[in-house]
Amino acid sequence: MSKKKSSTDLSYEDFAEICRVCLSYGELQPFNINLLDIYRYLIKVEDEMNYIFPQNICKICTKQLEDISTFIDNCKNTEETLKVIYLDRNFKKYLSDNSDTDYDIEDNFDTFESNVETENKVLYDKKNRAVKEELQSDYDKKTKTKKELRRELKKIRNQANPLPCNICNK
């Protein structure tokens, strides 16, 4: 079992033989760089003091820092999961909101189509084939645009989740 001296009984000469975290003597090991980074982050150690202070840690403190590290990783993963869920919800809402707009656009195309047909009949009656062909060409361009809009909408709806899960990688 490791012994712990009172902080008033410690001296600089003890640094090589004590745990950096709890100041106990006993079964020590060098501070793992990852655990040292976590420790420094948690207590805001100044860089210049890091190399002067004890560089060893006991098994109990190692376990506690590993648990803290696991806890921090779990929290980060949870935050990422929540962010993905939130973004997915907003993306679906965006698609839903825009799909209504797209249908309105399609309705406008339908109105446009009927207007073009009416104009074409008038032009045909006047036997002005050149103007009729020009309008027909414009109509074809608008029809292609409508098809392109539908394709784009279909692509967006069929897209897989853009962000993989950090926990299960799905």
Asked if 68 and 38 count as a contact pair (C-beta separation under 8 A), the reply is yes
Q: Considering only CA atoms, give the Rg of the chain.
A: 35
Helix (H) or strand (E) holding 28: strand 28-30
pTM of the model: 0.48
pLDDT, greater one: 167 or 90: 90
**What amino acid occupies position 59?**
K
Residue with tokens 């060893």: 56
Percentage of residues in the chain having pLDDT higher than 70: 54
Residue 134's φ and ψ, nearest 5 degrees, are -65, -45
Tokens of 158: 């069929």
Asked if pLDDT for residue 24 goes beyond 50, the answer is: yes
**For residue 150, which amino acid is it?**
R
Q: Using an 8 Å Cβ cutoff, are 58 and 24 in contact?
A: yes
Is 61 annotated among the ligand-binding residues? yes
Q: Are strands 56-58 and 28-30 parallel, antiparallel or unpaired?
A: antiparallel
Q: Is the pLDDT of residue 128 over 80?
A: no
Q: Is residue 81 predicted with pLDDT exceeding 60?
A: yes
Which of 43, 62, 63 lies closest to 53 in space, CA to CA?
43
pLDDT digits (tens, 9 = 90+) for 32-48: 888 888 888 888 877 77
Q: Lowest-pLDDT range, 62-66, 157-161, 163-167?
A: 157-161
Domain boundaries, the chain: 12-67, 73-158
Confidence of residue 102 (pLDDT cuts 50, 70, 90): very low
pLDDT digits (tens, 9 = 90+) for 63-80: 999 999 999 999 999 999
Distance CA 143, CA 166 (A): 43
Annotated binding residue 168: no
pLDDT of residue 21: 92
